[in-house]
Amino acid sequence: MHSIIKTIDKTTESIGKVSSFLIVPLVAEIIYDVFMRYVFNKPTFWAYDMTYMIYGVYIMLGSAYTHLYDGHVRMDLVTGRLTIRRKAIVEVICYIFLFFPLFYILVKYCSIHAIWSFGAGESSSASTWRPPVYPFKIIIAFGFILFLIQGISQFIKSLLIAIGGETNES
C-alpha cells in the first residue's frame, strides 16, 4: 500500500514541478502582447487563446500537486481542535461523500467532452486565430484524473490514520 502511495505522490510531484515551468512562457507571451499592443499599436491575434490555454494547463496540472501538499483552501473551524486521528476520520467521510462523487462527475464529463472535441476537431471561436482546443480539453480531463488519483492517495493516508493511528510519511 505504501509503495502505491509513494508512486502516486512522486508522479504528482513530478508533473506539478514540470508544469510550474509553464509560468515562464505565459509571462513571456503576456509581456510580448502588451509590448506589441501599447508600443507598436499592433495587438497579436493569438495572445488571448495562448493565455487561457497555457494558464489552464498550468492550473490543471498543478492542482493535484497543490492537493498533495494541502495547499487548497480549507475551513478548519470544525477540525482545527480535533486530534490527528479524528481529523483523519472527518477527511475520510468528506472524501467518500464529497470528493469522490464530485470528481467522478468531473472526470466523466470532461473526458466525454474531450473525446468529442478531439473527434470533431473543435477549434476556438474566441479569436481570429481559431486554434484547435481539443489538446487543451484533453489536458483538462487529464488534470482532473490526476487530481482524482492524488485524492485516492490522500484518502488512503487518512484512512490509515483513522483506522490505526498510523502516519504515512511519503
Q: pLDDT (tens digit, 9 = 90+) per residue, 33-65? A: 999 999 999 999 999 999 999 999 999 999 999
Over the range 38-55, which residues count as b (16 or more CB within 10 Å of their CB) and which as e?
eeeeeebebbebbeebbe
Cut 0.85: pTM above it: yes
Distance in angstroms (rounded) separating the CA atoms of residues 141 and 111: 5
Does pLDDT of 168 surpass 70? no
Residue 124 has pLDDT above 50, yes or no: yes
The contacts of residue 137 (CB under 8 Å, 6+ apart) are 110, 113, 114, 117, 118, 122
Neighbours of 14 (CB within 10 A): 11
**Residue 134 has which C-alpha cell?**
481539443
State the CB neighbour count (10 A cutoff) for residue 139: 18
